[in-house]
Amino acid sequence: MNKKSILSTMDPHTVSGVGRVFALLLICVAMGFVSPVFFTARNISLIITNASIMAILGVGLTITVITCGPDLSVGSILTITAVVAVIMVKANFHFLLSFAVALMMGTALGFLNGVLVTKVGLPSFISTYGLQWALFGFAYVILKGYVIYNFDADFRFIGNGYLIGPISMPIVVMVVVVFLGWFILRKTTIGRMFYATGANRDAARMSGIDTGKAILLAFSISGFLSALAGIVLVARINACQADIGKNLLLPSLATVYMGGTRATGGQGGVFGTLVGAVIMTVVENGMNLLGVPSVWRNAIIGTLIILTVLANIAVSKQLEKAGSKM
Amino acid sequence: MILYRSIIRKIQPVFWVTLLLMIVFNFFSSRFLSLHNIINLFQQGAVLLIVAAASTLVILSEGLDLSLGSVLTLAGITSVMSVNNGAPVSLAIGVGILTGLLCGAITGTLISIFNMQPFIATLGIQGVYYGISLVLTDSVAILTKNKTFIFFGSRVGYLPMAALIGVGTFLLILYIFHNTPFGRYIVAIGGNESGTRLSGVNTRFWKWFLYTFAGGITGFAGVLLASRLEAADPIVGVGWEFDAIAATILGGTSFQKGKGGVAGTALGVLLITVVRNGLNVIRTPSILQPALIGTILIIAIVIQVGLSMRSTQKEGKNRP
Amino acid sequence: MEGVHKLLEMQGITKVFPGVRALDSVDFELLAGEVHVLLGENGAGKSTLMKVLAGAYEPEAGKIFIDGQKVNIQGPSHAQELGIGIVYQEFNLVPYLNVAENVFIEHFPRTRLGFIDHETMHRAANELLCSLGMQVDTHALITQLSTAQQQMVEVAKALKHKSRILILDEPTSSLTEREIEQLFATIRELKRKGLGIIYISHRMQELWEIGDRVTVLRDGKYIGTRSLKETTPDELVTMMVGREVSFLFKRDFQTPGEEVLRLEGVSSTVHRLKDIHLTLHRGEIVGLAGLVGSGRTELARTIFGLEPVSEGKIYLFGREIHHSSPSLMVQRGVALLPEDRKNQGLALILSVAENLVMASLERLFPRKYIQKQKEKQIVAQYIKNLRIVTPNQSRQVQFLSGGNQQKVVLGKWLCTEADIFIFDEPTRGIDVNAKAEIHEFMNELVKKGAAILMISSELPEVLGMSDRIYVMRERKIVAELTHQEASQEVVIRYATAADHANQSVGCV
C-alpha cells in the first residue's frame, strides 16, 4: 500500500494532531537553543502554568466553535466576573462565595449569548463581539482606572498554590477542565449534539436534535469557563483591573485554531487546543526571552492565526484529495 | 426612483427610534437640537458614514471585514507622517488612500485567493495592522499643525467641511453601488456566488477588488479622521469596525444573500451618531458611555434583526 | 432529415475527473429547429456533456463543430458568444438583484461614461421576455418571482446573445402542469425560429409531447439516437439501463392495522395550510399527491414539528400532541426523510458512524454515555444490511458516492426503529434499478407493521404503491382516494390548480 492510501484511511484528526505535537516539539527545541533557561523544570512549570489559563479559556472557546461559532466575548466575561469576584473578596465575603458568584455570572452571561444566537438569530460573531463592548464598558464603570490587589491567601491559592511538587493549582484546574471537556465532547451524546449542530444545523435539527439547547449549553459552558479562567488569573497575578481580559481574545482564538478545530464548526477537540495553548505560551515566553517589544505582539499573533488557518485549509485539501480516491 | 422605494420599505423602525431618541435628548438638554449641535452631529458622523459604507459593501457580499478600524488608524498615521515630513497635502492624502488600498488588497488576497473565512482572516490581519501602527508611532499619537491638512476636517464658518466630504463620498459610493457592474457584482457574489461565476463573471477577481476598494475608501476616511483630530493616534480606530457593522445592520442589510443596501446604512450611522452625541450633550459621565452605547446598540440590533426575520418569512419561499 | 441544417456536432468527447471517466468518446448532434432530448440515468453523463458544451468544463478529448466550423470553447462567456445558451437545473440567479440585472449580469449595457445604462437594460430585458411570451416587471427582485418566472428569466438570460442553441437541464422538475404547458409553448416558438434545443430529462411522460429525437447515454457512453416517433418507452429504458426492466411496482397489500397518526382540522399560518384532515394506519402506505407548490412538503414539516401548528390537533398513537418538535417526534417514533437528502439529511464532515446514529442518540444511549462497542456493532449491522460501501466506519460521509450517501440517510432513520416514516420524494433523482430496490424496501417496512406517508410527484409511483391517496391542491387536501378509485386522470383532475393571473407590465 502506498503512502497516500494509508493517509486516506487514517482518521484525519490523528494525522493533523500528530503533526501539531511535532511542530510543538520543534519550537521547544528551537527555544532551547535561544535561551539556556528554557529547559529548566522551573521554566517549564511556569510555561505550563501560564498555558493553563489559556487552555481553560480555550476549552470553552473550542466547544462554541465546534457547535456554532467563536465566542468573542470570552475576554470580557473573564474580566467582568473577575472584577465582581475580586470586589466581593475585598468586601470580606468568603472566597468560595465570590468564586460561586463569579462562576454563576459567567454561566448566565454565556447563556445570554446563546439566547441572542438562538432566539434572535444573530450570527454568533456579531452578538458576542457586540456583547464584549458592553461588558468591558461595565467593567470600566465599576473599576474605572483602578487596580485592586492584595487578596487573601485562601483566594490566591487557586492561582499560585502548589498541590504536589511542581504541579501548580492552575495546572490541576486545567487538567480537570481538559479532561471533562474531552469526556463531554467525545464520550457523551451531548458532545455528539455539539458536533452535529456545528456540522449541519438543519440536518441535526431534522434528526431530532435540539440544536437550540445545544447552542445554549455550549455558550453557557464557555461563559462558565471564562469566569473560571478569570478567577485563576487574578488569583495568580494577585491583581485585577478593568482591562485584564482585553488582550486575551486573539491569543485564545489562535490557540483554538492552532489546535486544529475547524473554523466552520463540526470538527475539533480539546487536546488540540491544549497543544495550541502550550504552543502559544511557548511563543509568548520566547518573545519575552528574546526581548520582542510588546507592540509587535498582536501583529505576531495575528500572523500566526492566519498562517495556522491557511495551513489547516491546505492540510484538509490534501486529505480530501487523498480521500476522494475511493 | 428605485432608491426611495427601497429606503422607505426597509428602515422604518430605525428611523422612528432615532427620532424618538432625538426628542428625548432634546428634552433633557435643549442644546441638542440647536443648529450648532446638529452641524456638530454631521461632522462627527462623517467619518463613520464612509467606513460604514465600506462595511456594508463587504457584508452584502456575504463577507465581513473586522480590520477596517485598523486600516482607518494606519492610513491616518501614514498620511500625517507624510505631511509632517513636508509632503504636499495632496500627496499625503494619496498616501493615506494608498495605505488603505494596500491593506485591503492583502485582506482580499487572503479571502478571495486563499479562501480563508473573512471573519478569521480580518481578525488576524487587524492585529498586524495595529502592530504596524504602534511601531510607526512608537505608541504615541502624532500631532500635526499643517493648516491645509486640518482644513478638510474642520469647520469654516458655518461650512462643515468634514460633513460635506463625508456625505459627498457616501453619495459617490451609493452611486457606484447602483450604477456600475462592480456594485452589482457585490450583491451577486453575496446572493449566489457560484451561480454568478457560472454566468461568466470573474467572481474571484471582483471579490478581491471589493476588499481592496473597501480598504481604499476606509483609508480616505482615516485621512479625514486624522484631519479632524489634527493628529494620528495608533489606537483611535479600535471599535470602529463594530460601529460600522452595527450601522450596516441597523440600516436593514442582512448577513445573507445580499439583502439590503448602502442607502439604509446612512440611517444606521445617524442613529449611532445621535446616541453618542446625545449622551455627551446631556452630560452623561464618560465612564458610563461605552457600556450604555454598547447596550443600546445591542438592543437596537436585536429589534432590527428580529423584525426583519419576520418580514423575510412573509416574503415567501421563492428563492432560486 | 434532408435539407435541414446541422447546428451542432460533438465528436468523441471524453471528460475525466479524478477517479472517474464521466464521458467516454461521446457523439452528439443537433439540427436547427429540433428538440433533441438527452436521456439517461443519474451519472450517465448528460449534465457533464452539456457543461462541456456550455464552456464550464474542458474535455480531455473530442471535437466540437458549430455550423460546420470547428470551435474551441474557452469558457462560459465564450460559449455564450458562440451562440450557446444553457439553463441549469439549479438557477444561477441572484435573489436581490432585479430581473434585468440578472439577465445582463455578465454583460451590462453601458453608457458612454462606463456606467450601467439602466434604460437600455430594462428595455432589452423586457423585449427578450416578451418574445418568450412572458410578462414580468423587470424591476422586480428575483425573490419576488415564482419558480416558473425565474426559469423564464434564466431562459431570457441564455438567449440574449442571439443564441442558436439552447440547453435546458431538467426544466420541468419544479413546475406545475400549467407552467409546463407554458414552457412547452415557448419551446415550440423557439423551434419555429430555427433554434436547436437540447432537452435533458428524466421524465418519460413529457418526451413524446415535446421532443423530436432522443439520444441515450449510459455510464458516460453513447448508446444510441432514435426518432421519438419510431421508438417506445420500453426500448428507451432498456437502452438507459442495459437490461429489461419492468415498470410494475411490487406491493403486497394487506389490511391496515391500528391508527398511528391523525390530523384534525390542522392549519398552519406560516405554511398557509388550511384545515387538514388525515389519518395513517400501521401496514399501509398513504400517498400524498399534488403539484409542486400544493403544500405537501410543508405538511410533512408541520407534522414533524419543524414549524408550528396554528389550529387543529395532531394525534400520535391516539395521544394528542401539544407543542410538537422534531426531537419530540423522533422520540415518539416518527421519521422524516427529506427531499434534499444530502444537505438536510447528512452532516457531510462527520463520519458514517456518527451520521447513522445521529437520530438515535437518546434511544441507544439513555444515560448520555456513548458505549463505543455498542455503537460499533450497530453501525456495522446497518452498513451490512444496506450494503453501504465504505472502507471503514469513521470515513467522512462527504467522500461516499451519492448512492451510498442516500443509504446512510435511510440507515439513520431505520436505526431509530420508528413506526411512522414520512418519505418526501423517496425516489427522486435515483436510477431505475435503485428505485425498484427502494419500493421493495418500503413494502417490507409496512409488512413488518410500520406506517408510511409518501410524498411523490411521480404518478405511476403514487398509484402503484399507495393503499390510499390524498390529493393536495393550494395547501388544502381536496380528495381522499382508495387504491381502486385512483387513476392518473382522477388524481390530475383534483390536483390541477386554478388559474392565477400573472403580474403584467405592458408588452410593447
pLDDT for C94:
93
Model confidence at C503, pLDDT cuts 50, 70, 90, reads very low
Of B115, B261, B118, B255, nearest in space to B184 by CA: B261
Q: A137 — contact with chain B (CB < 8 Å)?
A: yes
pLDDT for B237:
87
- Residue C192, pLDDT > 70, answer yes
Q: Under a CB-based contact definition with an 8 Å cutoff, are residues A8 and A322 in contact?
A: yes
Nearest chain B residue to C142 by CA distance is: B319
- Residue C457, pLDDT > 60, answer yes
- Residue A31, pLDDT > 50, answer yes
Q: Under a CB-based contact definition with an 8 Å cutoff, are residues C4 and C33 in contact?
A: yes
Contacts of B288 in chain A (CB under 8 A): 137, 141
Q: Under a CB-based contact definition with an 8 Å cutoff, are residues C437 and C444 in contact?
A: no
Model confidence at B10, pLDDT cuts 50, 70, 90, reads low
Q: Which of residues 192-211 of B touch C (CB under 8 A)?
A: 192, 194-196, 198-201
Contacts of C91 in chain B (CB under 8 A): 195, 320
| A11-32: average pLDDT | 71
Instruction: Identify each DSSP E strand in C52-195 by its residue range.
Output: 61-66, 69-71, 84-87, 165-169
- Residue B55, pLDDT > 50, answer yes
- Residue C3, pLDDT > 60, answer no
| B288-300: average pLDDT | 82
In angstroms, what separates the C-alpha of B73 from chain A's closest C-alpha?
15
Q: Which of residues 37-66 of B touch C (CB under 8 A)?
A: none
Single-letter amino acid, residue A241: Q
- Residue C39, pLDDT > 60, answer yes
Q: B125 — contact with chain A (CB < 8 Å)?
A: yes
In angstroms, what separates the C-alpha of C164 from chain B's closest C-alpha?
18
- The alpha-helical segments, DSSP class H, found in chain B are 2-10, 12-28, 35-60, 68-84, 89-108, 118-137, 147-151, 161-179, 181-198, 203-229, 240-250, 262-281, 289-315
- The alpha-helical segments, DSSP class H, found in chain A are 3-9, 12-34, 41-67, 74-90, 95-115, 124-143, 153-160, 169-187, 189-199, 201-206, 211-237, 249-258, 270-290, 297-323
For cell 462562576, the residue is A103
Minimal Cβ distance to B196: which of C105, C108, C139: C105
Model confidence at B318, pLDDT cuts 50, 70, 90, reads very low
| C139-156: average pLDDT | 88
Contacts of C47 in chain B (CB under 8 A): none
**Cell, residue C201:** 430529462
pLDDT for B176:
95
| B210-218: average pLDDT | 97
Calpha distance C428→C457 (Å, rounded) = 9
Q: What is each CA distance from C486 to C265, C459, C463, C471, C490, in whole angstroms?
A: 24, 10, 7, 10, 6
- Residue A43, pLDDT > 80, answer no
- Residue C247, pLDDT > 80, answer no
| A203-232: average pLDDT | 95
Consecutive H or E run containing C432: helix C432-447
Q: What's the whole-model pTM score?
A: 0.83
SS3 C31: strand
Model confidence at C504, pLDDT cuts 50, 70, 90, reads very low
pLDDT for C106:
84
pLDDT for C266:
92
Consecutive H or E run containing C275: strand C273-281
Calpha distance A189→A209 (Å, rounded) = 10
Nearest chain C residue to A7 by CA distance is: C395
**CA A235-A238-A241 angle, 5° bins:** 100
pLDDT for B11:
54
Q: C349 — contact with chain A (CB < 8 Å)?
A: yes
**Cell, residue C409:** 440517510
Question: Does the distance separating the beta carbons of C399 and A323 come in below 8 Å?
Answer: yes
In angstroms, what separates the C-alpha of A158 from chain B's closest C-alpha?
31
Q: Which of residues 239-268 of B touch C (CB under 8 A)?
A: 257-260
SS3 C301: helix
Q: C341 — contact with chain A (CB < 8 Å)?
A: no
Contacts of C76 in chain B (CB under 8 A): 198-200
Question: Does the distance separating the beta carbons of C344 and A202 come in below 8 Å?
Answer: yes
Contacts of B318 in chain C (CB under 8 A): 142-147, 150
Q: Which of A279-293, B200-214, C268-282 has the lowest average pLDDT?
A: A279-293
Model confidence at C402, pLDDT cuts 50, 70, 90, reads confident
Model confidence at C37, pLDDT cuts 50, 70, 90, reads very high
Contacts of B260 in chain C (CB under 8 A): 96
Consecutive H or E run containing A64: helix A41-67
Average pLDDT, chain A: 85
| A223-248: average pLDDT | 90
- Residue A281, pLDDT > 90, answer no
Contacts of B201 in chain C (CB under 8 A): 105-106
Contacts of B196 in chain C (CB under 8 A): 92, 94, 105
Minimal Cβ distance to A302: which of B128, B134, B255: B128
- Residue C335, pLDDT > 90, answer yes
How many residue pairs bridge chain B and chain C with CB atoms within 8 Å of each other? Answer: 86
Q: C371 — contact with chain A (CB < 8 Å)?
A: no
Model confidence at B5, pLDDT cuts 50, 70, 90, reads low
Chain centroid offset of residue C54 CA: 21
pLDDT for A1:
41
- Residue C225, pLDDT > 60, answer yes
pLDDT for B319:
34
How many residue pairs bridge chain A and chain B with CB atoms within 8 Å of each other? Answer: 121
- Residue B15, pLDDT > 70, answer yes
Tell me the percentage of chain C whose pLDDT exceeds 90.
40
pLDDT for C250:
72
Q: Under a CB-based contact definition with an 8 Å cutoff, are residues A129 and A73 in contact?
A: yes
- Enumerate neighbours of A (3 or more CB pairs within 8 A): B, C
Higher pLDDT, A219 or A37: A219
pLDDT for C499:
30
In angstroms, what separates the C-alpha of B152 from chain A's closest C-alpha?
31
Model confidence at C1, pLDDT cuts 50, 70, 90, reads very low
**Cell, residue C494:** 383534483
Question: Does the distance separating the beta carbons of C77 and B180 come in below 8 Å?
Answer: no
Question: Does the distance separating the beta carbons of B298 and A131 come in below 8 Å?
Answer: yes
- Residue C497, pLDDT > 50, answer no
Average pLDDT, chain B: 86
Average pLDDT, chain C: 86
| A130-156: average pLDDT | 86
Minimal Cβ distance to B179: which of C93, C116, C143: C116
Tell me the percentage of chain A whose pLDDT exceeds 70.
91
Contacts of A263 in chain B (CB under 8 A): 117, 119-120
SS3 A314: helix
| C88-109: average pLDDT | 90
- Residue B285, pLDDT > 50, answer yes
pLDDT for C507:
44
Q: A233 — contact with chain B (CB < 8 Å)?
A: no
pLDDT for C501:
27
Calpha distance A64→A217 (Å, rounded) = 9
Q: Which of A201-205, B230-234, C428-432 has the lowest average pLDDT?
A: C428-432
